[in-house]
Structure 1
Amino acid sequence: MWKHFKFDPHSINLSCHTDVKLNEFDTLLHTEWDRALAQNLFTFQIDNQVKQRVLDGDLHYIVELNPSRYEKRRLPYAFEHVITPFDKNKFNFNKIKNEEILFSLDSEQQTDKHLVIINNSPIRSYHVLLVPDRQLEQTQISTIDSILFALEFITSSAHPFIYVGFNSLCGYASINHLHFHGIYMPDRLFLQTIVCSPFHTKSNCYLHDFFDTEAFAFEIKSVNDFDKVARYVYKITNYLTQSEIAHNLSIVKGDSFSVVSEPALRIFIWFRQPKIGIKPMDRCNFACLELSGYVFLRYAEVFDDLTELELRENINGIALSSELRIKIKEDIKHLLDQ
Structure 2
Amino acid sequence: MTQQQRQALDELLRHSPLDVGGDIAEQRAIFHEMIASVPLPDDVSAKQDELGGVPVVVVETPNLDPSAVILYLHGGAYALGSAPDSVGLAADVARRVGARAISVNYRLAPEHPFPAAVDDAVAAYRALLDHAVPASRIAFVGESAGGGLVAATLVALGQAGLPQPSSAALFSPWADLTVSGASAVGKATLDPALTPEALRTRARDYLGGQDPATPLASPIFADLTGLPPLLIQVGSHEILLDDAIRLTAHAAEHDIAVELQVWPQVPHVFQSFAAILDDADHALNAAATFINRNWSN
TM-score by length of 1: 0.29
Pick the structure with more helix per residue: 2
Q: Computing the radius of gyration over CA atoms, which structure comes out larger, 1 or 2? A: 1
Pick the structure with more strand per residue: 1
